[in-house]
Amino acid sequence: MPEAESRALTSLSDDETMFRDAVRAFAAAEVAPRVDAMERAGSFDRSLIGKFAELGLMGIDVDSAYGGAGGTFFMTMLAVEELSAVDASTAILVDVQNTLANAPLSLWGSEDLKRRYLTRLAAGTVGAYALSEPGAGSDAFGLATRAEACDGAWTLTGRKMWITNGAEADIFVVFATVDPGRGYKGITAFVVERGFPGFGVGKKEDKLGIRASSTTELILDDCRVPADNVLGEVGQGYKVAIETLNGGRIGIGAQMIGVSRGALDAALQYVRERQQFGKPIAEFQAVQFQLAQAGTDLEAARLLVYNAARLRDARQAYTKEAAMAKLFSSQAAERITSLCVELFGGYGYTKEYPVEKFYRDAKIGAIYEGTSNMQLQTIAKLLLKT
């Protein structure tokens, strides 16, 4: 068991422990050997997707009636944490698949949509979530993308930005407004396939971290979408978006604790081996105290993430807890990975050792699926309300 892992994991059920261990073994055997090549190429090794599906990672908490593994949201968080401890780019593909593509279809989709799309997603077709636009980031409901009813279908026109899995996905949950005059009450969610007329994938971003994960724009040019592909109800897309992102934020928290754990495990090994002044640097109290603080931050972040995931599975209110988990875990990841780079000294600043990658991968946690300021706003609002 990795040194930086918490004893709190003893609270897992036997099934959860077996699942976590299976994902950990998979990450070590299949993901780790590919990390360097994917990082250098800045692209995801698609041969992993079929392996994800074989392990059940493409539909972890999708009902078995639709080909899913029939697990829990908490198990999804375990998978994301384990994969992130090896490679955050790999983890985010699985995370978005489960929390932002499968989840809204499971919760809001008609039986027809579930049969048509959840079955494909669980079998290995990649999904993505398209809400953000050039002018709609933190103001997520300031959408310019329009949806117009036309001859028994809908046509979507606009651009989407920062779409994770955009290069690999074939199924997209896309948000557009049917009536700008109605504000957020005009927003509607649609299930869009890559092959629909008028749909295109545009520029792929060249990023600081999670470089193997694709982040693209989508171009909708009178994209024709069948009427039956409305997800939820017309004008209720804001509810789909909010509920989906609340769960997604826990997923980012799980990603950040995995990144933190991967970096800290590497540093714990290094400080035992690195000799200065005639002894391992692990024997210096200043180093020990910094590691102690990092371990405490990681433990606190993990418990926040696990608690939020358990609340979601129990169908209890979890919005505040999800925001807290994402906020703190992303802050902790920046602190922990930065410390680990410093503990490696000059080596930590090179690509010869893994900590510089963990450091770069940690930064996105404070940005996507709601910036830290947006999490603070949510937390404050709910604290004052109660």
> Among all residues, which ones are annotated catalytic?
369
The C-alpha atoms of residue 171 and residue 192 are separated, in whole angstroms, by 6
Rounded-to-integer distance, Cα 362 and Cα 329, Å? 10
Quick one: 385 exposed, middle or buried, by C-beta within 10 A (0-12, 13-18, 19+)? Answer: exposed
Q: Which residues of 36-50 are buried (b: 16+ CB within 10 A; e: fewer)?
A: eebbeeebbbeebbe
> Cα–chain-centroid distance for residue 251?
5
* Nearest CA-CA partner of 362 in 312, 298, 304: 298
Cβ atoms of 164 and 96 closer than 8 Å: yes
- The H or E element spanning position 259 is helix 237-273
What number of helices (H) and strands (E) belong to the chain? Answer: 13, 10
List, in order, residues 6 or more apart from 380 with CB less than 8 Å away.
Answer: none
